[in-house]
Amino acid sequence: MADDLVERLRPRLIPPDDATRRDVHGDTDAAVLVPLFRDAAGDLHAVFTRRGDDLRRHAGEVSFPGGRADPGDRDLCATALREAEEEIGLRATDVSLAGALEPTPTMVTSYAVYPFVGVIQPGREWTLSPREVAAVLELRLRDVRDGYGRRRLVRRGLAIRTDTYVVGDELIWGATARIVGDLLARVQPLL
């Protein structure tokens, strides 16, 4: 089932090498992994994390596993895979890379975020980095799509109107919401 999903996703995504050559505003390159899987009913899910509340940057926010590029990383895709293993215990050998999404900036922290889409098997047990991750969220993409809305949020004392996705008590906004919007537009026929 995973191989079939990779083949169905690949033509809808950006080739990883093409994505890494795209310019995006940001002082620091970072990469995230967008892990996808189909459950037993055939529903497409994405794996998110809720960041720890005591982190200096993006505390408590819903995001994809990822982070800054390290000098030892072969490329940004390797960054995304390394970070996924560090944050949630997802080994690179358990991910079938399908492609990439449009890179996007973070406004406040000035990261250039490069998202890579990988397919995994369902039913994983996660090993969370206690320093970084409060929870792993396996969200059905139809529920994410249906939770879309433009909302007024107050962040650091400033009111902003932005795209958001709400699933239960989980709020997705900012760069992660932009990544989700791109993902949903590309995979809509597969939902």
pLDDT reported for residue 132: 87
Confidence of residue 41 (pLDDT cuts 50, 70, 90): very high
Q: How many residues does the chain have?
A: 191
pLDDT reported for residue 105: 93
Domain ranges of the chain: 2-190
pLDDT reported for residue 1: 59
pLDDT reported for residue 72: 94
Confidence of residue 4 (pLDDT cuts 50, 70, 90): very high
pLDDT reported for residue 38: 97
Highest CATH level, class, for 2-190: alpha beta
pLDDT reported for residue 75: 97
Is pLDDT above 60 for 59?
A: no
* Mean pLDDT, range 14-36, rounded to an integer: 95
More confident residue, 56 or 98: 98
Determine the 3-state secondary structure of 62 from DSSP. Answer: strand
Q: Structure tokens of 171?
A: 């709020």
Is pLDDT above 70 for 141?
A: yes
Mean of per-residue pLDDT scores for the chain = 92
Is pLDDT above 70 for 110?
A: yes
- pTM higher than 0.75 for the full model? yes
3-state secondary structure 86-145: HHHCCCHHHCEEEEECCCEECCCCCEEEEEEEEECCCCCCCCCCCCCEEEEEEEEHHHHH
